[in-house]
Amino acid sequence: MSNKKNQSDKILLDVKGLKKHFPIKRGILFSKQVGATKAVDGLDLFVREGETLGMVGESGCGKSTTGRLILRLIEPTAGQVTFDGTDLLKLNKSEMRVMRKKLQMVFQNPYASLDPRMTVGDIIAEPLRVHKVFSSSSDMKKRVRELLDCVGLNPAYTERYPHEFSGGQRQRIGIARALALNPKLIIADEPVSALDVSVQAQVLNLLNDLQGEFGLTYIFIAHNLSTVNHISDRVAVMYLGKVVELTENTKLYANPKHPYTQALMSAVPEADPTVMRGENRRQRIVLEGDIPSPQNPPSGCRFHTRCWEVMDVCKTQEPPLVDTGNSHYVACHLYPAAAGETPLKTA
């Protein structure tokens, strides 16, 4: 969508070869590592300033882990995360804490991510206090009221507790907290999936408005393809710890290239019986079986065990994420790189 006025060509966040292997240990006294869950395993993507990058995939594909790795809420095993010219993985703890002012997160569950014993005012003021933004408490209170107003809540609510609010209102409080430090990038991990549909739409519109107002860049992580496609400028589709396709939302819908994206798209039930039923109903690609375990991902292309277009090369050689033309990145042997384009990163 071209509705984002402040989108630029500047790359704000560049992630290369990001990996997170969670060790699996056996034994208590002499515990040793017997394997690893490869939650994120060589992930490449970039985010332009002012855009919304959606990350979509099924449970266990590593999308939430990726969000946390970028903020270093969990430490990556390997890779490079360049934010605004700085490699985040090279920063020490205190440098990273300062950096987090610019990178904030909105969490999935608005019932669990707000401390029930803190007032709304304290919750929103906490980041301001931690980073010692204001010297006077009246300035801070003013800022808190301003933030509540920004997210569409009554500024008089500062003395109330989270349990007095509905799910949608709590998510607004979570968003206000993320906005408090004027961040550049907000990572929203399933911010609406715990909410009812009518309330989801309110929060999605709010995120959209705030982006225009403050020139924010979003990474929007969700499993619901329709929601991600709605809010994002570009969408990254993940499968078993890797990005398999990355392109603009309109291109992803009109021309999904990776077989997994095609299957995912066709599996989404649209709220329209004329599309979903009868003789002319949309053809659905039903994948066989389940997602393989990330402890022992398949050799070659990770999708080859469920792919209906599988070739011999897919079983042995891992396809790199390449630009197949017009910045439509695909990691699949069916689609060679466009002439003159180099892979985003070799697999």
Partner 1 sequence: MAEDVLLRVKDLATHFKTEEGIVKAVDGVDFEVRRGEVLGVVGESGCGKSMTSMSILRLVPKPQGQIVRGELMFDGQDLLKLSEDEMRKIRGNSISLISQDPMTSLNPVLTVGEQIMEAIQLHQGLDKQAAKNKAIEMLRKVGIPSPEERVDQYPHQFSGGMRQRAIIAMALSCEPKLLIADEPTTALDVTIQAQILDLMREIKEKENAGIIFITHDMGVVAEMCDFVCVMYAGKVVEAADVFTLFKTPAHPYTEGLLKSIPRLDDVKERLDPIDGQPPSLSKLPPGCSFAARCPEAQDICRKQEPELKQVGVNQFARCLMRDEWKAEAEA
- 44 or 51: whose CB is closer to partner 1? 51
Among residues 179, 174, 177, 176, which one has the least CA distance to residue 191? 174
Residues 6+ apart with CB under 8 A from 192: 171, 199, 200, 203, 204, 222, 227
Q: Assess 296 for contact with partner 1 (CB under 8 A).
A: no
| Nearest distance in Å: CB 270, partner 1 | 6
Stretch that binds partner 1, among 30-38, 173-181, 273-281, 313-321 (CB under 8 A): 273-281
> Are 248 and 233 spatial neighbours (Cβ–Cβ below 8 Å)?
yes
Q: Assess 196 for contact with partner 1 (CB under 8 A).
A: yes
| CB neighbour class for 70 (10 Å; exposed up to 12, middle 13-18, buried from 19) | buried
Residue 318: CA atoms inside 13 Å, Cβ hemisphere, count?
16
End-to-end CA distance of the chain: 30
| Nearest distance in Å: CB 242, partner 1 | 17
Chain positions 135 to 174 lying near partner 1, rule: CB under 8 A, are: 166, 168-169
Q: Assess 250 for contact with partner 1 (CB under 8 A).
A: yes
Of the candidate residues 33, 86, 182, 274, the single one contacting partner 1 (CB under 8 A):
274
Of the candidate residues 265, 301, 307, 322, the single one contacting partner 1 (CB under 8 A):
265
Q: Assess 310 for contact with partner 1 (CB under 8 A).
A: no
| CB neighbour class for 345 (10 Å; exposed up to 12, middle 13-18, buried from 19) | middle
Of the candidate residues 108, 249, 261, 324, the single one contacting partner 1 (CB under 8 A):
249
Of the candidate residues 208, 262, 295, 317, the single one contacting partner 1 (CB under 8 A):
208
DSSP conformation letters of 153-204: S-GGGGG--GGGS-HHHHHHHHHHHHHTT--SEEEEESTTTTS-HHHHHHHH
- 180 or 291: whose CB is closer to partner 1? 291
Among residues 64, 53, 12, which one has the least CA distance to residue 241? 64
Of the candidate residues 14, 58, 84, 146, the single one contacting partner 1 (CB under 8 A):
58
Q: How many CB atoms lie within 10 A of CB 221?
A: 28
> Are 47 and 11 spatial neighbours (Cβ–Cβ below 8 Å)?
yes
Of the candidate residues 52, 211, 229, 261, the single one contacting partner 1 (CB under 8 A):
229
Stretch that binds partner 1, among 83-91, 141-149, 264-272, 324-332 (CB under 8 A): 264-272
| Nearest distance in Å: CB 192, partner 1 | 10
Q: Which residue has the tokens 């208590």?
A: 28
Of the candidate residues 290, 311, 336, 342, the single one contacting partner 1 (CB under 8 A):
290
Which residues lie near partner 1 (CB under 8 A)?
1, 3, 58-59, 166, 168-169, 196-202, 204-205, 208, 223, 225-227, 229-231, 249-250, 253, 263-277, 284, 286-287, 290-291
